[in-house]
């Protein structure tokens, strides 16, 4: 290959029709592809479109096939719950399956590569992209990262049913200061290693094919030009053999960061740091050859990047057949597979969190006579798909079962269903309140569907105010004044603040954005055909002022306690320090009792496996699932340890009245942390073991000691 052809492999463009950043208009795209100056395209969907570009690539001298990448974040044609919602299921098999279905549909539509999963830990719900990850916890996030990579990639690359995954955004993008997207990150090395890097490591261990770096600078060095992150950690210490793509234009953005002077220096910094492919900045295309001529960049560095990219093209089988993902029949079948719809419904049902259920208002009786279904999201389709839905050519992009349809499907003609919009999602117009109150008065039960618009959470959608927008909670106030029982559905892409609703509505389901089968899944839960089992993977604050807020914080020298003297505790004088809903929280229609905690020994050595067992009983009237959570606290550490850390969990199904014993194993890995020298160590001493139904609802405790 000539140097120009090699550089071409490192160059990625967006197709002309859809983009998440400023598109560089380039009429010469086809000519450049023919000249071997482009290695990959993104935002190019469908077998016809991808095949037409591939045909052009096949006219190039080396006939190196193009790679087609796409943000397949929560489904393709079949839309799944947004990742944060799906994480509420704590169901790794379900999460893997949804990635598999997405991969199946995307690969049948010409896509080779998804820019997912986003494995950024996020502790700040102001950050719009909190919707795209698995929440705040490193342990849960790492397991979900693995499940997603395995789901997208299948057994091994090369199957036409799977796509390459991409762990993003490397690194610490979720810790943007103030929750403002693209903002700087300032973080201790230990926090980086302990909290933010493990999900990326889990993705590497699961065989992830690619990484994407991040827009932010971290401690003053842009991630894209960060040699320590990409060369030392990722490709060095972790032995990652895949390739790293930049984020959209992030190589060029290093100029704005103030880390490099121009595109020439940006390209030098990025290639040196280990960014292999340039997404849309054109810094590589415009500068790498000159950098080589000037002896600033050794060809070996470029060869390494090219080899990494070509290797993936080989593994995908593209050199055998560049059109192997371009089969129209397969596309047609994959995009119309009823099995996918069924899976989407199941995953959506598992993602709905029951936050409140006073006096067993839910599940609703199927013989309820009149239901008033009110709110701006009742009939919403596009608004309820969630950010990062994919516009698939030739497919109705509004393909989603609305909540209205879902309930109609469920109750048929057995009940009268009344509708009023009541208000818009945003704005101050109350003109629709009277009609809403009027139908509420005629009903036996009111269901109110409120929340965020599709584009209030997602990339570049940070909010400084995370209340339920507009007058939606005022509408609730009026509906409650009718004296009718009101069930509130909250549709959102982040934890919102909704204290009025939380304190006054008798029943609340947090439905997030659930995808294609939203309406049917919600109806299943409302009428008890699915007993909610989801638990929050992220803390819900009471107010924005509490953020960042997370369950695994340190105790401090003045821990939280009931004491009016604020000098005696780390607290606010105008706000509680406790969350509205804690990490791990979520109710069921049934109740579970925890008993009989047994641990194999009160002492363990570093070689031991400590056996732990506990009995869980379903003490209510419904069959149901419980997510049993195991937390540990290392009581004394050379680096202080959090008040509790999730170290294991089990999701179990129990029939009404049934009991099961479940067991866990504690090994030295679960007791280890990064010490002052960033060594991964377990220090002898006392540990507290907690088993609970949430991080706050600890039911059973025991102690043990790690001995030398
Ligand atoms: C986002 C990435 C995404 C890329 C391509 C960027 O703006 O940060 O997550 O994969 O666009 O669409």
According to the model, what pLDDT value does residue 26 have?
54
Q: 361 and 501 in one domain?
A: yes
For the Cβ of 248 lying below 6 angstroms from any atom of ligand 1, the answer is yes
Residue 429 lies in a domain: yes
Centre of ligand 1 to C-alpha 152, Å, is: 18
Q: 458 and 356 in one domain?
A: yes
Q: What is the mean pLDDT of the chain?
A: 96
Q: 518 and 621 in one domain?
A: no
Distances (CA, A) of 668 to 144, 372, 411, 603, 629: 22, 55, 53, 12, 18
According to the model, what pLDDT value does residue 25 have?
47
Q: 518 and 601 in one domain?
A: no
According to the model, what pLDDT value does residue 23 have?
46
According to the model, what pLDDT value does residue 17 have?
62
Q: 491 and 596 in one domain?
A: no
For the Cβ of 18 lying below 6 angstroms from any atom of ligand 1, the answer is no
Band (394; pLDDT cuts 50, 70, 90): confident
Q: 495 and 608 in one domain?
A: no
Closest ligand 1 atom number to CA of residue 215? 8
Residue 628 lies in a domain: yes
For the Cβ of 20 lying below 6 angstroms from any atom of ligand 1, the answer is yes
Specify whether the CB–CB gap between 126 and 547 falls below 8 A: yes
Q: Alpha helix locations (H) across 109-178?
A: 138-153
Q: 473 and 382 in one domain?
A: yes
Q: Which positions are annotated as active-site residues?
A: 247
Residue 415 lies in a domain: yes
For the Cβ of 168 lying below 6 angstroms from any atom of ligand 1, the answer is yes
According to the model, what pLDDT value does residue 398 have?
72
Closest ligand 1 atom number to CA of residue 214? 8
pTM value? 0.98
Residue 79 lies in a domain: no
Q: 604 and 522 in one domain?
A: no
- For the stretch 149-201, pLDDT in tens is 999 999 989 999 999 999 999 999 999 999 999 999 999 999 999 999 999 99
What percent of the chain clears pLDDT 70, i.e. is strictly above it?
A: 98
Show which of 509, 526, 543 is a domain's final residue: 526
Centre of ligand 1 to C-alpha 125, Å, is: 19
Centre of ligand 1 to C-alpha 364, Å, is: 41
- For the stretch 224-274, pLDDT in tens is 999 999 999 999 999 999 999 999 999 999 999 999 999 999 999 999 999
Residues linked to residue 627 through DSSP beta bridges, in sequence order? 651
According to the model, what pLDDT value does residue 27 have?
59
- Extended strands (E) in 234-390: 243-245, 278-279, 353-357, 370-374
Closest ligand 1 atom number to CA of residue 19? 12
**Dihedral angle of Cα 185, 188, 191, 197, to the nearest 10 degrees:** 60
Q: 635 and 499 in one domain?
A: no
Domain boundaries, position 603:
592-707
Task: Tell me the average pLDDT across 38-63.
Answer: 96
CATH number at residue 479: 3.40.50.1700
Q: 602 and 520 in one domain?
A: no
For the Cβ of 13 lying below 6 angstroms from any atom of ligand 1, the answer is no
Band (63; pLDDT cuts 50, 70, 90): very high
Residue 644 lies in a domain: yes
Centre of ligand 1 to C-alpha 211, Å, is: 12
Closest ligand 1 atom number to CA of residue 460? 7
What percent of the chain clears pLDDT 90, i.e. is strictly above it?
A: 94
Residue 667 lies in a domain: yes
CATH number at residue 612: 2.60.40.10
Residue 609 lies in a domain: yes
Q: Are strands 217-218 and 221-222 parallel, antiparallel or unpaired?
A: antiparallel
Q: Which residue CA neighbors atom 2 of ligand 1 most closely?
A: 247
According to the model, what pLDDT value does residue 391 have?
87
* Cβ count within 10 A of residue 9: 29
Band (18; pLDDT cuts 50, 70, 90): very low
Show which of 476, 501, 526 is a domain's final residue: 526
Q: 380 and 466 in one domain?
A: yes
Rounded to 5°, angle at Cα 260 from 254 and 261: 115
Band (385; pLDDT cuts 50, 70, 90): confident
Cα distance from N-terminal residue to C-terminal residue, the chain: 58
- For the stretch 631-662, pLDDT in tens is 999 999 999 999 999 999 999 999 999 999 99
- For the stretch 301-331, pLDDT in tens is 999 999 999 999 999 999 999 999 999 999 9
Show which of 526, 550, 567 is a domain's final residue: 526
Query: Total structural domains in the chain?
Result: 2
Q: Is the dihedral of CA 189, 462, 214, 322 positive or negative?
A: positive
DSSP H or E stretch at residue 267: helix 263-273
- For the stretch 122-152, pLDDT in tens is 999 999 999 999 999 999 999 999 999 999 9
According to the model, what pLDDT value does residue 359 have?
97
Does position 295 have pLDDT exceeding 90, yes or no? yes
The single residue listed with the structure tokens 């999602």 is 425
- For the stretch 99-120, pLDDT in tens is 999 999 999 999 999 999 999 9
Of 44, 113, 114, 115, which is best to mutate to test ligand 1, by the most ligand atoms within 8 angstroms of its C-beta? 115
According to the model, what pLDDT value does residue 150 have?
98
Centre of ligand 1 to C-alpha 67, Å, is: 16
> What whole-number distance in Å separates Cα of residue 619 and Cα of residue 639?
41
Q: 600 and 516 in one domain?
A: no
Residue 641 lies in a domain: yes
Nearest to 51 by CA among 285, 310, 388, 331: 331
> What whole-number distance in Å separates Cα of residue 416 and Cα of residue 399?
26
């Amino acid at each position: 290959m000539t140097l120009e052809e090699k550089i071409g492999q490192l160059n990625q463009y967006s197709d002309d029709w859809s983009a998440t950043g400023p598109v560089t208009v380039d009429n010469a795209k086809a000519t450049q592809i023919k000249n071997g100056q482009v290695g990959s395209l993104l935002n190019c969907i469908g077998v016809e479109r991808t095949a037409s570009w591939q045909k052009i690539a096949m006219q190039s001298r080396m006939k190196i096939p193009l790679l087609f990448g796409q943000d397949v974040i929560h489904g393709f044609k079949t839309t799944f719950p947004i990742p944060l919602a799906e994480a509420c299921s704590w169901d790794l098999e379900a999460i893997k399956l949804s990635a598999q279905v997405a991969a199946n549909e995307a690969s049948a539509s010409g896509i080779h590569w998804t820019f997912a999963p986003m494995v950024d830990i996020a502790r700040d719900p102001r950050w719009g992209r909190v919707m795209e990850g698995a929440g705040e916890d490193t342990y849960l996030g790492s397991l979900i990262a693995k499940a997603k990579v395995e789901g997208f990639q299948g057994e091994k690359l090369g199957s036409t049913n799977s796509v390459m995954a991409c762990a993003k955004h490397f690194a610490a993008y979720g810790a943007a200061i103030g929750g403002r997207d693209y903002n700087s990150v300032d973080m201790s090395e230990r926090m980086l290693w302990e909290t933010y890097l493990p999900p990326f490591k889990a993705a590497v261990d699961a065989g992830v094919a690619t990484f994407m770096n991040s827009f932010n600078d971290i401690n003053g060095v842009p991630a894209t030009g960060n040699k320590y992150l990409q060369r030392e950690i990722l490709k060095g210490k972790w032995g990652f053999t895949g390739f790293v793509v930049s984020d959209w234009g992030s190589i060029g953005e290093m100029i704005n960061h103030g880390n490099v002077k121009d595109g020439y220096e940006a390209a030098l910094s990025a290639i040196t740091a280990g960014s292999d492919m340039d997404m849309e900045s054109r810094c590589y295309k415009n500068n790498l050859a000159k950098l080589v001529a000037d002896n600033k960049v050794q060809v070996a560095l470029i060869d390494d990047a090219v080899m990494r990219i070509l290797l993936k093209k080989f593994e995908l089988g593209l050199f055998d057949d560049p059109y192997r993902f371009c089969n129209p029949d397969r596309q047609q079948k994959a995009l119309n597979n009823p099995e996918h719809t069924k899976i989407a419904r199941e995953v959506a049902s598992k993602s709905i969190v029951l936050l409140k259920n006073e006096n067993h208002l839910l599940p609703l009786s199927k013989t309820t006579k009149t239901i008033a279904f009110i709110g701006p999201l009742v009939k919403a389709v596009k608004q309820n798909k969630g950010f990062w839905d994919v516009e698939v050519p030739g497919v109705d992009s509004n393909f989603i079962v609305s909540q209205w349809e879902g309930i109609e499907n469920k109750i048929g003609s057995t009940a009268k269903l009344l509708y009023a919009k009541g208000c818009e999602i945003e704005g101050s117009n109350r003109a629709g309140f009277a009609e809403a109150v009027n139908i509420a008065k005629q009903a036996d039960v009111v269901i109110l569907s409120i929340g965020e618009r599709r584009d209030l959470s997602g990339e570049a959608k940070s909010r400084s105010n995370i209340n339920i927008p507009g007058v939606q909670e005022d509408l609730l106030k009026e509906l409650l004044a009718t004296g009718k029982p009101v069930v509130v559905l909250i549709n959102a892409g982040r934890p919102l603040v909704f204290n009025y609703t939380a304190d006054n509505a008798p029943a609340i389901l947090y439905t997030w954005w659930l995808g294609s089968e939203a309406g049917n899944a919600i109806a299943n839960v409302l009428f008890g055909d699915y007993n909610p089992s989801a638990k929050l993977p992220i803390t819900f604050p009471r107010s924005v002022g509490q953020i960042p807020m997370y369950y695994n914080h340190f105790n401090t020298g003045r821990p939280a306690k009931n004491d009016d003297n604020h000098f005696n505790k780390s607290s606010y004088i105008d706000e509680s320090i406790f969350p509205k809903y804690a990490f791990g929280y979520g109710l069921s229609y049934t109740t579970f009792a925890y008993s009989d905690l047994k641990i194999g020994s009160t002492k363990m050595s570093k070689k031991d496996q400590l056996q732990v067992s506990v009995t869980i009983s379903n003490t209510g009237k419904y069959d149901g699932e419980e997510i049993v959570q195991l937390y540990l606290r290392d009581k004394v550490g050379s680096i202080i340890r959090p008040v509790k850390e999730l170290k294991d969990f089990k999701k179990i199904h129990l029939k009404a009245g049934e009991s099961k014993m479940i067991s866990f194993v504690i090994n030295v890995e679960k007791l280890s942390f990064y010490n002052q020298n960033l060594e991964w160590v377990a220090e002898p001493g006392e540990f507290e073991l907690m088993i609970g139904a949430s991080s706050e609802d600890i039911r059973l405790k025991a102690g043990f000691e790690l001995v030398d």
